[in-house]
Copies of this chain bind each other. A is one copy, B any other.
Amino acid sequence: MKVSIIAIGDELLIGQVTDTNSGMLARMMAPYGWEVHQVMTVADNADDIRKAVDQAFRTTDVILTTGGLGPTADDITKPTLCSIFGGGLHFDPAVLDNVKTVMAKRGRVLNKLTENQAIVPDNAIIIQNKVGTAPLFWFQKDGKVLVSMPGVPFETEEMFRSEVLPRLLHHFDNNISTTHTTLIVAGISESALAEHLKDYEDSLPGYLHLAYLPKPGIIRLRLDGRHTDASVLTSESDRFVKQLKHLVAKWLISDNDMSTAAILLEELKKRKMTVSTAESCTGGNIAHQITLIPGSSEAMNGSVVAYANSVKSGILKVDPAMITEHGAVSIPVAEAMAAGVRTALKTDISISTSGIAGPGGGTPEKPVGTVCIAVAGPGDSMMSETFHLPGSRQRVIERATSEALLMALKALGIPGEI
């Protein structure tokens, strides 16, 4: 199925907000073989929205719109969609009840403007918004479907995942079965992996497709299947997944689609081990990535963000003379930080980072992007490495976080030997 996305909002066109919804929707539809044909970003302007919808319906059967549904005067998506699909607007008490419930959960009181969210198009199926105040609208015309969704990313994601995508699949793909398997590999480049898997890819039947989804430090390999016969699909998909696992075994860190932090947590729980972090340049991001995962408190004791050298020597007991001799960004200091936090927080393993995230602070010997990472434990083991990571401050922090988590997995023996 081909899909058009229309992202509505002046804030997108002036570059104050970046549209991340379109990519997110594309990634959520991809496993079902649904492709985004085009994305159009338009202003909060009736004429522009109308033209974009016309143009989208000429080429695709499904249109997803995001944004333009707020209660303020500049959001004119609702009346514009009425002018396209016919009918007017009416007050829907069920929507008002839902808005009140959502507002109450937030501890807020309803005001006059928010009440406007309960004014809905006559000719749309209403999908109640479980996580926000703007309801979603499902329009149909000549066998084509337009779904109008809110633009706040977490609302778009939650509502598309739980309500819109299942309804779309039911509406258009009622009799097609799908399978999706994701393997996560680390320690090989995308192009080297593609070369390694060339013969395997050529051997895949038409209803199975292998996708490479690289992320900093890892590659997600997703095998998607689509077939009208569910039993053929299941057995063949199982067979090819098995083959694929064998082919990538020496880089395989998980056969589930999860973040590196989640993989680490799962392995720690399996071994009944605990972890702590001592972070300088990553500034708490490793701890943040680990604690984003539900149940992380089982294995995560905590972290010391040691930005100032006084914290490195005070709480982590790094010898100040060592910092003077080698510099804060050095392997000896990173190892001492890892050892220090492991002792202070009494954990089985610990991860440390010390680096120069930039844009300032670089020197000829230690340019911006230089990051020392160490992992202490389990047992007496100590691992450490200096990385040179490219890009902006944020990018260096993200890459350092990813490398640190991969090093911790390595310390646990993952990926294992074949």
Q: Which residues of A contact B (CB under 8 A)?
A: 10-20, 22-27, 30, 35-43, 48, 51-52, 55, 59, 70-74, 102, 105-108, 111-114, 131, 152, 154, 158, 180, 189-192, 194-195, 201, 211-214, 220, 222, 224, 257, 274, 277, 279, 281-288, 290-292, 294-297, 300-308, 310-311, 314-315, 344-346, 357-360, 388, 390-395, 397
Contacts and interface: CB of A to CB of B under 8 A. Distances in A.
A111 B292 contact: no
Given A283-B292, A302-B311, A14 B43 contact: no
Given A26-B15, A39-B40, A390-B106, A303 B305 contact: yes
A392 B316 CA distance: 34
Contacts of A285: 284, 288, 291
B291 A283 contact: yes
A154 B395 contact: yes
A388 B36 CA distance: 38
Contact of A307 (B107, B114, B284, B301): B301
Nearest to A47: B59
A291 B307 contact: yes
A314 B71 contact: no
A284 B291 contact: yes
A92 to B, nearest CB: 18
Contacts of A297: 307-308
Contacts of A288: 282-285, 288, 397
Nearest to A311: B302
Given A191-B72, A292-B394, A308-B301, A13 B35 contact: yes
A310 B15 contact: no
A12 B59 CA distance: 18
Nearest to A295: B360
B308 A287 contact: no
Contacts of A195: 111-113
A25 B15 contact: yes
A82 B388 CA distance: 37
Contacts of A257: 16
A409 B189 CA distance: 44
Contacts of A12: 23, 39
5 contacts: A11-B211, A14-B224, A111-B195, A154-B392, A277-B305
A304 B310 CA distance: 14
Given A41-B39, A302-B308, A302-B311, A74 B212 contact: yes
